[in-house]
Amino acid sequence: MVVNNIKRALQEILDFADVKINGNRPWDIQVHNNNFYSRVLTGGSLALGESYMDKWWDCKAVDELIYRILKAGLDKKVKGSKNLFWLFLKAKLTNRQAKSRAFIVGEKHYDIGNDLYKYMLDKRMNYSCAYWKNSKTLYKAQEAKLDLICQKLKLKPGMTVLDIGCGWGSFAKFAAEKYKVKVLGITISKEQVKLARKFCKGFDVEIRLQDYRNLKHKFDRVVSIGMFEHVGYKNYNKFFKIVNSCLKTDGLFLLHTIGTSISTISTEPWTDKYIFPNGMLPSAVQITKTYEGIFQLDDWHSFGVYYNPTLMAWYNNFNNNWSKLKNNYDKRFFRMWSYYLLSSAGSFRARHNHVWQIVLSKPGSQLKYQSVR
């Protein structure tokens, strides 16, 4: 009787998203453990993800399920208040992205295996949203994104470029190869450094294992692609000041980041625990407020609609290549990683998250900037 009442309560919430428990549509939830109902009602998004990892439920289209949940605003109805309160409290009382903690996400996420990312990403190993405007394949869409960034930065041969959060060197190599510039890339991942140095060998590229707070040199251009999500709201102002100090008088800075519509100071609990520890997504207000007086805005380009096909392409690559990866990762990891990619796709499909490319210059810069699309 108790289980039926809890199940009914959860079903009433799911009805707002047109999701049925044990229904026959791809986005319906198939429950294997009756404890699932109370676990999710009391634990929110953390419990939903963990119970999936524990095989308590399945769904043929997790991406579509999450899309419907977020579109209907069910994340606000079932919040898991204890988890959110704890993350909020830690974010308030501590600097979770302090310099002493800078390498945690590198170790926990980016260092888990270059083989995983090789099989999941495109052959240039871009780990950020692709630009699908005129492209039909992941590789072409990622190249289009890299070229778009180079055009927005107005790169010219001989320029010096700083790449903050360079990953496996995808942008650094592309810019050095196609635009004949000199690039310094920094990352907090030891595994990325190893592969990036091999990947960029023969080009005018230097890769360092380094936190952005140790930067001191001047560059013609600065770019940061998919790294700002690790900076944290307490460090935004300092981040912009450091970038400003690294940029020449008429230089340009391009910031490529995921963003959110509502200002927060912590991230979603499941993502924080299993995927990106100490991460958080900035809002537009948080960004503009913290660069005020440090930079002036030249361009703001939003194309989060393209992250859905990017994530689905990554999931298909990961799923199709699992036979080559399964000796290094267990079945629980497979479910965790699948949930990460598919739920992320659903969030962008619902426009719960966004992708922004922001071009900034120093106050008083005489560079006449024209937007590129």
Question: Lowest mean pLDDT: which of 96-105, 142-151, 266-275?
Answer: 96-105
H helices of 275-371, where? 284-291, 307-320, 322-325, 331-349
The confidence score (pLDDT) of residue 364 equals: 86
The confidence score (pLDDT) of residue 81 equals: 45
Average pLDDT on 166-176 reads 98
Sign of the dihedral defined by the CA atoms of residues 360, 366, 367, 369, in that order: positive
CA neighbor of 26 nearest in space, from 66, 54, 65: 65
Band (pLDDT 50/70/90 cuts) for residue 93 is very low
Average pLDDT on 224-239 reads 95
Q: What is the pLDDT of residues 332-365, one digit of tens each?
A: 999 999 999 999 999 999 999 999 999 999 998 9
Instruction: Specify which residues 256 forms β-bridges with.
Output: 225, 357
Instruction: Name the residue ranges covered by the structural domains of the chain.
Output: 2-79, 100-361
Percent of the chain whose predicted confidence (pLDDT) is above 70: 92
d(CA 357, CA 255) in angstroms, rounded, equals 6
Q: What is the pLDDT of residues 286-323, one digit of tens each?
A: 999 999 999 999 999 999 999 999 999 999 999 999 99
CA neighbor of 368 nearest in space, from 298, 296, 294: 298
H helices of 133-235, where? 138-152, 170-179, 190-199
The confidence score (pLDDT) of residue 54 equals: 97
Q: Which residue has the higher pLDDT, 112 or 102?
A: 112
Question: Lowest mean pLDDT: which of 76-85, 123-132, 263-272?
Answer: 76-85
The confidence score (pLDDT) of residue 266 equals: 76
- As separate numbers, helices (DSSP H) first and strands (DSSP E) second, the chain gives 16, 9
Assign a CATH topology to domain 100-361: Rossmann fold (3.40.50)
The confidence score (pLDDT) of residue 2 equals: 65
The confidence score (pLDDT) of residue 102 equals: 57
Mean pLDDT of the chain: 92
Q: Is the pLDDT of residue 89 over 50?
A: no
The confidence score (pLDDT) of residue 125 equals: 97
Average pLDDT on 242-249 reads 96
Q: How many CA atoms lie within 13 A of 135 on its CB side?
A: 18
Q: Kindly report the pTM of this predicted structure.
A: 0.92
Looking at 78-210, which runs of residues are DSSP E strands?
Answer: 160-164, 182-187, 205-209
The confidence score (pLDDT) of residue 233 equals: 92
Sign of the dihedral defined by the CA atoms of residues 155, 161, 164, 166, in that order: positive
Q: What is the pLDDT of residues 106-137, one digit of tens each?
A: 677 888 889 999 999 999 999 999 999 999 99
Angle in degrees, CA 356, 361, 366, rounded to 5: 140
The confidence score (pLDDT) of residue 366 equals: 86
Average pLDDT on 88-105 reads 55
Q: Are 358 and 228 in contact (CB under 8 A)?
A: no
Q: Is the pLDDT of residue 86 over 50?
A: no
Q: Is the pLDDT of residue 243 over 60?
A: yes
Sign of the dihedral defined by the CA atoms of residues 255, 259, 261, 264, in that order: negative
**How many of the other CB atoms lie within 10 Å of CB of 351?**
14
The confidence score (pLDDT) of residue 91 equals: 44
The confidence score (pLDDT) of residue 160 equals: 98
Q: What is the pLDDT of residues 15-60, one digit of tens each?
A: 999 999 999 999 999 999 999 999 998 888 999 999 999 999 999 9
Band (pLDDT 50/70/90 cuts) for residue 103 is low
Band (pLDDT 50/70/90 cuts) for residue 85 is very low
Instruction: Specify which residues 222 forms β-bridges with.
Output: 162, 253
